[in-house]
Structure 1
Amino acid sequence: MYGDGGWGRQAQEGPRSPYGGQPQHHPQTPQHGDWSQEQQQHGAWSQEHQPGYGDRQHQYHEGPGAEYDQRFAHQTQQQVHQGGWDATGTHGHVPYAADPGDPYGQQPVAYGTQQPDFYPTEDAYPPPVPPGRRQPEPEPEPGAAGEEEHAFFAGGGDEDGEEEHELQSRRERRGKKPVKSRKRRTGCACMVVVLVFGGGLGGVGYFGYKFYQNRFGTAPDYAGDGNGEQVTVEIPKGAGGWEIGQKLKEAGVVESAAAFVSALQANPDGKSLQDGVYTLQKEMSAASAVELMLSPKSRSNLIIAEGLRNTAVYALIDKRLRVPAGTTARVAKKEYKHLGLPAWATDHPNLKDPLEGFLYPSSYAVAKGQKPEAVLRKMVAQASAEYRKLGLEKKAEALGLDSPWQVLTVASLVQAEGTSHDDFRKMAEVVYNRLKTDNPQTYGRLEFDSTYNYVKNQSKIDLSVAELRRYNSPYNTYFAKGLPPGPIDNPGEEALKGSLNPTHDGWYYFISMDGKTSKFTKTLAEHEELVNQWNEARNKN
């Protein structure tokens, strides 16, 4: 409590102060009454004491423990101000007030008594040690410092390890022997880290190599025209070069899509490559695959011609799919409501085939292994799209028809009776003129041979009028007035356009003299004259 040689260098001369040689600061202003009067009455402080005080003050500033002495002197001055001095000039028996900022100062302790130890536990920080009594920190045991300094390799820095490290540091600061840390399995941890980083670097390297190959390297490619093993590949409509290359790669035709794209771009006719079904070979070079696909020899699409009836289309599908004859027709009859027909094409009575007119003439990718339902659905979707594009629903009323279904039926008649694209507009006018119930030529009867042939599923031209009028069928326009219940074939684009834009020249009759072109007349007399000419020419042959 009074200091020693290591705590601060004390003065060799002058009386030892009971306060450890610490400077006593006297306030210049009175705080407990009249300070000068107390001095005079008690004589506690005289000028003869001041030189010694000054000497000690000077010594205080020189000592190595100046910092501690200064704090102690400041504390003493505060006590003087708070507790005061008794009449004898010595410190009274007023205890020190507790410091509210000190968590260990809850009980006041009088000066001169021993401060209780508030650090009995191992977890607490030790009290300050005077500089003269401080000892160098003990050297850590071999292995312990390395393990704690590299906690990551020792087990990932868990909470138990951190707490143990902190407790050990506290013990060392208090001069206790450090506790030996438990052994860590550093080898396994290091191996895991190496594997993780090594695997990451390997993955980055692999993908970097693939990226370089895709962007700058030569694309993998087979050599030659194939290994002789044939394969069928379907290319969807609107597919680009990369998509086509992917499909060929999946089928084993080319080694990479990139090689196919390069070969397609290098071929001058590459842009003319179309969708469809192609018969190719496996392991072909990209250049040979492109060349074969541009050749008609590889194309194996199903072609639906204009004006074909559904019965003929069903037979073609069966043959392409290599299924028993009649399979597609049975599927159509059973599943027609689920194949995508528009609302205006359903629920019509007396139909021979509800799908008639919706197997649109076009080129379709059809190959063995596909289902008839899938092929029919594709054709119906194509027809619906074309009819929507042409505006059948919007133009029906302007043509004097009840619905787009009737427009489609007219187009099927135009397709069946016309012999060339130039005939379609005139043929459409003939239909519309004859449909008028007050027309003076046919009085509402169409009288088309094609409707009778449709019912009979035939294509004859030598038919007597008597035979035609006797056959009772809603499709027989010699027997029933007006349009048949529905289309009689699958009309093409030109027949549809002609039906939507007929001529207005007054045509009622037509005849084909050579089977290639038609002649149109406005009266029955003109028509009968042409019929006689045709009969004479036929008899001569």
Structure 2
Amino acid sequence: MTEYGRGGGSEPWHPEDPLYGDLAWTAHQTQQGHAPYGGAPQQDYPQEPQYQQQYPQHQEYVPQQHAQQQHAQQQHAHPQQPHAEHLYPQQPHPQQPHPEQPHPQQQQYPQQQGAYAPQQPVYDSQGWDTGQSQYVAAAAQSDAYAGVDPYAQQPVSGYPGETPDLYTTPDAYPPPQPPGRRHLEPEPAEQAEEEPETGLLTGGGDDEGDGPADGGRRSGRKGGKGGKPKQRSGTACLLAAVVIIGVVGGGGYYGYTYIKDRFATAADYAGEGTGESVDVEIPKGASLATMGNILKKQGIVASVEAFTTAAHVNPKGKSIQPGVYPLKKKMSAAAAVTLMTDPTKLNVITVPEGKRNSEVYKAIDTRLGKPEGTTEAIAKSQGKNLGLPAWAGNNPKIMDPLEGFLYPARYDLSKDTTPESLLKQMIKQATDKYTELGIEAKAKDLGLENPLQVVTVASLVNAEGKNHDDFRKMSEVVYNRLKKTNDVTNQKLEFDSTYNYLKGTSNINFSMKEARALDHPYNTHFVKGLPPGPIGNPGADALSATLNPDHGGWMFFVSVDGTTTTFTQTYDEHQKLVAEFLERQKQKNGG
């Protein structure tokens, strides 16, 4: 039977004792190695002499001979242990113990010399106090080893003077509770150890046979509330599993996509594409990435990355112009870049500066796949309905009312483009440009009758000049020859370009005698002044030079070598240059 560690008194510690619950108990003697019930650790101090002096009426002294033997045993067991007076100075005891009970710290160190030795109750096999404690105490005073079972395992004290821990043996009862805590409510059910679940969705079994074969131990767990474990919601578990799977799956897919996009080869088609043709329009200012996105959406290339890579590899890849390209479905990126860097493959039509309308009409028919003459017929029949300004086309001698209004520029084509829509677009752009330059207000300042004559002068400048550096001098020649004071050419322009225009040719060598004898409104070798209308479509440079001529007094010009134009102020200088030009032509023709 284990010791209960109680001090002197009539109250047994075991709850089954009929005398359990003595209200006179006011303190609990904390055993060595156990924390007090307040929760804070307790420091155990050796018994000090002043306690012997403070409570003499409660001390029972061990005979001197026995005390000396005890002191000798202590000195022998721990020869180097310092005296208690050196370790712990004298301190006043914080609390007066109950007169019927020994001081708590006096029981913890009964082995010290002169220590107070309280009587311990003796219990029988049923836990009852036998009343023999006083005899055991008396025998203990005469024999230190009396009442000790020589065959029982004795607890080993750590140091002399320590009371052995009587609550650490396997069959010991729990430490005694103070009277105020002996009948506390049972521990909350949540603190009980959870039983393992029997299934994911069932929420566990019950106490009537569905649970484990544990002999009904569930119903006897702490709490006394039926013993059923808390059931977990199967829906919550399923939802948690779905969320986890979704997170893991989403993360894996994102990682796979990132690695594929980062390190995998960009998707690309092979070859020149299928037979299906698609007109793809590239807007102005589009980057290579924007172009790639447009082509991918149209099904031309497989990926933007493949297109941009091919454009960087191609030396001309960064010079792709905006416009409409006739491409094919499922082309390789390299094939698409090659086609888009070829100007002839661009689905556009470009009107060069100075081009005549007859050449523009043919180009439109070819680009739109129309029969030859279609666009020209529309221009003649619907000229007044295509958006010409009010000051244009009023002279009945004009060969083509649209001449000079098909503004030189590049025009994008699509499947919806028609000759009518394209002509309207060109005329609108020319009208906007003329309005921007203010030719209506400047016509009179230049000695011209109307804005149409400004366009006509610009067309002559563009046709006769070999380069942009000649345009301002050429416009000066036109204005000087139109002057009434011109007695050298008698206000005749004598431009070969006008004769070629009415003939529909571009010859340099022609019979001057025939030219001067041909009576035609556009033949400036025969008539004075300007032709009825423009002879071509002047560009921006020719228009600017027409509005700002070079006031150098130029009257004549000739291109001796066919490339460089030389300007002169007098007829004699001009004649010398003409003779040089004729000699070169004679040598060139072998005659």
TM-score normalized with structure 1 length: 0.54
Correspondent of 1:231 among 277, 283, 293? 277
After superposition, residues 492-507 of structure 1 pair within 5 angstroms as: 492-507=539-554
Q: Quote how far apart the aligned CAs of 1:284 are.
A: 3.4
Q: Secondary structure at the match of 1:344?
A: coil
Deviation sequence 1:76-134 (CA, Å, 0-9, x none):
xxxxxxxxxxxxxxxxxxxxxxxxxxxxxxxxxxxxxxxxxxxxxxxxxxxxxxxxxxx
Partner of 2:351: 304
- 2:555 aligned with 1:508: yes
The change in CA–CA distance for 1:237 and 1:415 in structure 2 (over 3 A counts) is: farther
Q: Quote how far apart the aligned CAs of 1:482 are.
A: 1.2
The change in CA–CA distance for 1:250 and 1:392 in structure 2 (over 3 A counts) is: farther
- 2:575 aligned with 1:528: yes
The change in CA–CA distance for 1:403 and 1:281 in structure 2 (over 3 A counts) is: same
In 2, distance between residues paired with 1:259 and 1:290?
10
Deviation sequence 1:201-227 (CA, Å, 0-9, x none):
xxxxxxxx9xxx9xx999x96544553
The change in CA–CA distance for 1:327 and 1:295 in structure 2 (over 3 A counts) is: closer
Partner amino acid for 2:284? Answer: G
The change in CA–CA distance for 1:441 and 1:283 in structure 2 (over 3 A counts) is: same
Q: Quote how far apart the aligned CAs of 1:411 are.
A: 0.8
Deviation sequence 1:310-341 (CA, Å, 0-9, x none):
11111111112222111110011112222222
After superposition, residues 86-165 of structure 1 pair within 5 angstroms as: none
Q: Quote how far apart the aligned CAs of 1:292 are.
A: 4.4
Partner amino acid for 1:227? Answer: G
- 2:448 aligned with 1:401: yes
Q: Secondary structure at the match of 1:345?
A: coil
Correspondent of 2:401 among 342, 349, 354? 354
Deviation sequence 1:355-396 (CA, Å, 0-9, x none):
111122222223676311122222223323333343433432
- 2:585 aligned with 1:538: yes
Partner of 1:135: none
Correspondent of 1:477 among 524, 536, 539? 524
Q: Is the 8 A contact 2:274 2:331 kept in 1?
A: no
The change in CA–CA distance for 1:480 and 1:292 in structure 2 (over 3 A counts) is: closer
Partner of 1:335: 382
Q: Is the 8 A contact 1:276 1:301 kept in 2?
A: yes
Correspondent of 1:321 among 368, 373, 377? 368
- Give the unaligned 5+ runs of structure 2: 1-252
Deviation sequence 1:385-430 (CA, Å, 0-9, x none):
3333434334323322233211110011111111222211111100
In 2, distance between residues paired with 1:268 and 1:318?
33
In 2, distance between residues paired with 1:267 and 1:233?
22
After superposition, residues 261-280 of structure 1 pair within 5 angstroms as: 272-280=319-327
The change in CA–CA distance for 1:325 and 1:497 in structure 2 (over 3 A counts) is: same
Q: Is the 8 A contact 2:476 2:551 kept in 1?
A: yes
Q: Quote how far apart the aligned CAs of 1:532 are.
A: 1.4
Partner of 2:565: 518
Q: Quote how far apart the aligned CAs of 1:308 are.
A: 1.6
Partner amino acid for 1:407? Answer: V
In 1, distance between residues paired with 2:420 and 2:309?
37
Q: Is the 8 A contact 1:321 1:369 kept in 2?
A: no
Q: Is the 8 A contact 1:359 1:383 kept in 2?
A: yes
Partner of 1:40: none
Deviation sequence 1:124-170 (CA, Å, 0-9, x none):
xxxxxxxxxxxxxxxxxxxxxxxxxxxxxxxxxxxxxxxxxxxxxxx
In 2, distance between residues paired with 1:291 and 1:470?
54
TM-score normalized with structure 2 length: 0.50
Q: Is the 8 A contact 1:441 1:523 kept in 2?
A: no
Query: Which structure has the bigger radius of gyration?
Result: 2
In 1, distance between residues paired with 2:446 and 2:482?
11
In 2, distance between residues paired with 1:269 and 1:464?
47
In 1, distance between residues paired with 2:542 and 2:450?
17
Q: Secondary structure at the match of 2:455?
A: helix
In 2, distance between residues paired with 1:342 and 1:256?
48
Partner amino acid for 1:359? Answer: L
More helix by share: 1
Q: Is the 8 A contact 1:230 1:279 kept in 2?
A: no
- 2:429 aligned with 1:382: yes
The change in CA–CA distance for 1:332 and 1:243 in structure 2 (over 3 A counts) is: farther
After superposition, residues 368-447 of structure 1 pair within 5 angstroms as: 370-447=417-494
Q: Is the 8 A contact 2:279 2:415 kept in 1?
A: no
Partner of 2:78: none
Q: Is the 8 A contact 1:307 1:491 kept in 2?
A: yes
The change in CA–CA distance for 1:512 and 1:267 in structure 2 (over 3 A counts) is: closer
Q: Quote how far apart the aligned CAs of 1:343 are.
A: 2.9
In 1, distance between residues paired with 2:316 and 2:342?
10
- Give percent identity, aligned residues only: 50
Q: Secondary structure at the match of 1:343?
A: coil
In 1, distance between residues paired with 2:316 and 2:513?
58
Partner amino acid for 1:378? Answer: Q
Q: Is the 8 A contact 1:221 1:285 kept in 2?
A: no
In 1, distance between residues paired with 2:523 and 2:372?
28
Q: Secondary structure at the match of 1:484?
A: coil
In 2, distance between residues paired with 1:301 and 1:257?
24
The change in CA–CA distance for 1:263 and 1:466 in structure 2 (over 3 A counts) is: closer
In 1, distance between residues paired with 2:293 and 2:425?
23
Q: Is the 8 A contact 1:234 1:365 kept in 2?
A: no
Partner amino acid for 1:538? Answer: Q
Cα RMSD for the two superposed structures? 3.6
Partner of 1:55: none
- 2:536 aligned with 1:489: yes
In 1, distance between residues paired with 2:276 and 2:332?
14
Q: Quote how far apart the aligned CAs of 1:450 are.
A: 1.4
In 1, distance between residues paired with 2:445 and 2:326?
48
Q: Is the 8 A contact 1:350 1:485 kept in 2?
A: yes
Deviation sequence 1:417-462 (CA, Å, 0-9, x none):
1122221111110000001112232232212121122111122233
